[in-house]
Amino acid sequence: MTRREQHKNKQKQKRARRLKVGVASVLTVAVIGSMGVWGYYRNHFKMANINGVNVSGLTIAQATDKLNTAAGNKTNDLVVKGSRVKVDQAQVSELFNNRSSMSMLANPSMTTGVAISKAQQTKRLTVLLPKFKKQVDEINAAKKPTTNTKVNLVDGKVVVKEGTQGTQLDKKWMVKQFKYQAKRDLEISVPKKVLKIDSPSSQAVKDEKQKLQELMNHKVTVKTYNKDLKFKASDYLTNAVQTAPGKYKFDSSKLAARIKQLANKIDTLGKPYKLKVHSGQTRVVQGGTYGWQVNQTALTKNIMKHLQANAKTTMNLKHYAIGRGYGEKNVGKTRVEVDLKNLMEYVYVNGKLKVKTPVMSGTVTGGNKTPQGTFYILYKQRHATLRGKNNDGSKYASPVNYWVPITTDGVGLHDSPWQPASVYGNPSARSQYHSHGCVNNPPSVMGKVFKYTSVNEPVVIYY
């Protein structure tokens, strides 16, 4: 080997040694750096988010503190003050361990598994929710009102009235979100959602139109004592204003007019009627408490209710009748007649005369008069004591064996052992021996009157 060749070999060997030293130095630095990074992330979070909060590079304690104080990016939310439920280091430590087992390049979004206690839920719903509603109302008071599109009925036709878009918040939706978060989230933060109107061509409006059109096919049948009455929704649900999704306020005036017309035709309470009395004469009888009438308000209300709710409904008019004698045009064949002019009393059962007796009544006029009209027997009682005041103001207490009251202020049929027998059926004795308004019966006959009468039976008193 020449000297020149020997010199070249020495130069190669020097370069090789320098390269080895350089590589070794780089490897040493890399190892030391890796050991430093590994040591750092032994107690610091790698890239990670917990409950939407960035905790990268933080210790467990730092991450816990940040989670319990961070406001987050909630500029478009209503954050409910006092709703935060704090996490503890044990929960964050568990997430730290989970993150440590993942790749350095991963950037997971994690959540703490804190359960909202019943006490915390109760506080949120009873204390914080009313404040939240008030806050939304205060915000909406300063915003442009929103009127949603409505589907109305006008003269039997379905009409869509387009709404007006405003800037008010959707309170109903936000309250629903509040309640949802109240059971689940560490802090209640509700998005400020603007209330949007429905487009006239939207599915919601189409559904409302369909519902109203189907409603027009509903029918109600009202059974009466002699015939059935038919009510069609298409005839009476002709005008309505939508008040909420699926809800309407219907105009009931048309139906009310029909019910009033019906009542005027069939009501008997307080109306005069003709009655063929015991003497064979026909008398016009008016007044008293016996009779019946249609409860127009209740009947109208329930027909409207069923026309809206059910395709077909059957009702019975007797459930909407007030008074006594439903279905009767007058008193029928079972009754008591009191003829004040002749002071006679007649008890009929199914058209057969059971008792005929002379009586004494109260005066024809004045404070002790016996009322005229048609009444009904309120109840029957044995061995009663009748109490009241005489004309001079003194009190009386009269024991009787049979008491059949027909008014709530103390008029009725009863035996009167204090009366002379000669006064019964004697109109000329009335001025001296009249009662305080009751119909006095002879003691020997009153037992039969009591036997052949019943509660709710009509008592017709005429002159």
Distance (Å, whole) CA 460 – CA 376? 8
pLDDT for res 2: 67
pLDDT-derived band at 319, boundaries 50, 70, 90: very high
Q: How confident is the model at residue 9 (pLDDT cuts 50, 70, 90)?
A: low
Classify 217 in phi/psi space as left (phi over 0), alpha (psi -120 to 50) or beta. Answer: alpha
pLDDT-derived band at 154 (thresholds 50, 70, 90) equals very high
| Distance (Å, whole) CA 24 – CA 29 | 9
Across residues 200-225, what is the average pLDDT?
96
Return the ∠ at Cα 15 (arms to 11 and 16), rounded to 5°. 115
Q: Strand 439-441 vs strand 412-415: parallel, antiparallel, or unpaired?
A: parallel
Indicate whether 241 pLDDT > 60: yes
pTM of the model: 0.68
pLDDT at 71: 67
Fill in the amino acid letter for 216: M
CA-wise closest residue to 215 among 203, 241, 236, 233: 233
What one-character DSSP code corresponds to residue 183? T
Q: Which residues contact 237 (CB under 8 A, 6 or more apart)?
A: 153, 215, 216, 218, 250, 304, 307, 308
pLDDT 10s digits, 21-54? 444 444 444 444 444 455 688 889 988 888 778 9
What is the β-pairing status of strands 458-462 and 335-339? parallel
Tally of helices (H runs) and strands (E runs) in the chain? 12, 25
pLDDT for 50: 86
Q: What is the pLDDT of residue 103?
A: 73
Q: What's the sign of the alpha-carbon dihedral 187, 191, 192, 194? A: negative
**Percent of the chain beyond pLDDT 70?**
90
Amino acid identity of 87? V
Structural domain boundaries in the chain: 118-204, 216-266+291-323, 335-462
Sign (positive or negative) of CA dihedral 172, 177, 178, 179: positive
Point out the least confidently predicted range of 94-103, 146-155, 247-256, 361-370: 94-103
Query: How does pLDDT run across 338-368, given as a tens digit for each residue?
Result: 999 999 999 999 999 999 999 999 999 998 9
Instruction: Kindly state the tokens that stand for 136.
Output: 């939304």
Q: How far apart are CA 175 and CA 275, in angstroms?
A: 68
Residues of the chain with pLDDT > 90, as a percent, come to: 75
**pLDDT at site 25:** 47
Q: Per-residue pLDDT tens for 381-432?
A: 999 999 999 988 999 999 999 999 999 999 999 999 999 999 999 999 999 9
d(CA 64, CA 66): 5
Mean pLDDT computed over 209-228: 96
**How many residues make up the chain in this entry?**
463
The predicted structure's pLDDT at residue 72: 54
pLDDT of residue 29: 40
Q: Beta strands 352-358 and 77-79: pairing type?
A: unpaired
**What is the residue whose two structure tokens read 């997971």?**
108
Instruction: Give the active site residues.
Output: 414, 438
Class in CATH terms, 335-462: mainly beta
Round the average pLDDT of the chain to a whole number and report it: 91
DSSP lists the bridge partners of residue 398 as 386
Phi and psi of 415, rounded to 5°? -75, 155
Compute the distance between CA of residue 358 and CA of residue 343 in angstroms, rounded to an integer: 6
- Residue with token string 């190669």: 12
Q: Any residues with CB less than 8 A from the CB of 240 and at least 6 apart, and which?
A: 152, 153, 212, 248, 249, 250, 251
Inform me whether the pLDDT recorded for 219 exceeds 50. Answer: yes
Mean per-residue pLDDT, 325-341: 94
Answer with the residue of higher pLDDT: 298 or 28: 298
Nearest CA to 51 out of 33, 42, 64 is that of 64
Residue 114 pLDDT > 90? no
Calculate mean pLDDT across residues 258-282. 96
Structural tokens at position 21: 């030293």
Find out whether 190 and 78 touch, Cβ atoms under 8 Å: yes
Per the CB < 8 A criterion, the answer to whether 320 and 292 are in contact is: no
Classify burial at 59, counting beta carbons within 10 Å of its beta carbon; exposed 0-12, middle 13-18, buried 19 or more. middle
**101 has pLDDT over 90:** no
Q: Which amino acid is at 24?
A: A
Q: Within a 13 Å sphere around the CA of 308, how many CA atoms are in the beta-carbon half?
A: 17
pLDDT, average across residues 138-161: 96
What pLDDT, on the 0 to 100 scale, is given for residue 155?
95
* pLDDT score at 35: 46
| SS3 category, 414 | strand
